[in-house]
Amino acid sequence: MMRIPNPRGSAFRWYRRYNPRSESGTEFEPRLEPTETYVMRMNLIGQIGRWAVLGLLAWMPSLLRGAEPTAVWRPPVCDVLPLADHQVALRIDGIERCRWHHGPQYPRPFFFPLLGPSGEPLTRMGHPGAENHDHHRSVWFAFNDVDGLNFWAENQGTQIRQNYWYAYRSEDPEALLATRLGWFDPEGKERMATDLCAALIPLDAGQYALELQIDLRPGPGREQVVLGKTNFGFLAVRVAESLSAHFGGGRLTNSEGAEGEPAIFGKAARWVDYSGPVAVGQGPQRQTVIEGITYFDHPDNPRYPTRWHVREDGWMGASFCLEEGFSLTADQGLRLRYLLLVHRDWQTAESAAGVQDAFAKRPPLRVRKGRPDERHRQFVVERANDE
């Protein structure tokens, strides 16, 4: 019999099959049929195809929503949100807790509001009963005597302004902000330079801490700055009217167990506290809760524990130069660290001691230039023990 070539390769083979339609009835016709191996292979390919279709149908909803990212992004607990009009919000769990204002229209930057656990402001803009104290802007840095110039009061021709921001850092367990401030005299010369770092630290029950660090030095090209003897400066806090001991139902206390302005003014203490009633809610549901601000000095600060300038009308400030002045040089600057604890209820010595201890152990903040491996970061703000 003549060999017939197989046009389909080894997957098929020829068979001789009886052909009943032949004229003689005894002829055979050649027939090309698949091998068993080929049949098994095709069955397997069919199964794989069915699995692929089922997988595609299961994945289709994700395909319609868009491609899944290779790494899942989750929002940090704490974040820094730059806003229009020279403002920066510091938030915890997406809720604003305080805001930094550094617009050129102001004689100096400030934080406002400083919101309590209830969401109501615990600080205010200005004095409740004296328009000549409008320089009391919530939480602010100022000083009464810098080389004989007044950077505390209004309309002196002096200005503290933000030259630029170094870095914002949104992460856990804190949100960080770092800026460069300049203290300018009436002729526009920068008498003193300041690096300001702020850390927003969440605590339990809606409480939090605002840690503030300033590094002061003479301005560019200057060898020395003299800080005069004064009870005004550096960090001041004007509390809400309801927290005031005079205008509201508040209490002014300190770490030494003293209460009231006469017992606290000019005295050394590790911390002072203003607490009082805060109105929350609206209409028939309006009620009062007790909240407050504890202002801590840091053990590493020169002249610790500091002496305090406080008033029953609702303000408090650490008076670094209350007893004597201080000189800054190009080689020897001044670092001051403070902490504002925003809390529920009346402050107690036991509760404050725990916060004081944690603050004392916490490393300072620093600003450095970004490394080559830190892409798109000109500067970095971090704790001094960070790698």
| Residues of the chain below pLDDT 50 | 1-4, 8, 12, 14-15, 18, 28
- In sequence order, which residues have a C-beta less than 8 Å from that of residue 118 and are 6 or more positions away? 206, 278, 280, 289, 291
Residues 162-182: tens digit of each pLDDT:
999 999 999 889 999 999 999
- In sequence order, which residues have a C-beta less than 8 Å from that of residue 10 and are 6 or more positions away? 35
Whole-number pLDDT of residue 49: 65
Whole-number pLDDT of residue 1: 44
Phi and psi torsions of 224, nearest 5°: -155, 150
Closest CA to 179 of 198, 170, 166, 192: 166
Whole-number pLDDT of residue 171: 87
Whole-number pLDDT of residue 63: 52
- In sequence order, which residues have a C-beta less than 8 Å from that of residue 269 and are 6 or more positions away? 254, 255, 256, 258, 297, 305, 306, 307, 308
Complete domains list, the chain, with CATH: 9-65 (no CATH), 78-383 (2.70.98)
Q: Using CB atoms within 10 Å of the CB of residue 103, give its burial: 0 to 12 exposed, 13 to 18 middle, 19+ buried.
A: exposed
With the CA atoms of 120, 121, 122 and 127 taken in that order, what torsion angle do they form, in degrees rounded to the nearest 10? -140
Q: End-to-end alpha-carbon separation of the chain, Å?
A: 86
Whole-number pLDDT of residue 141: 97
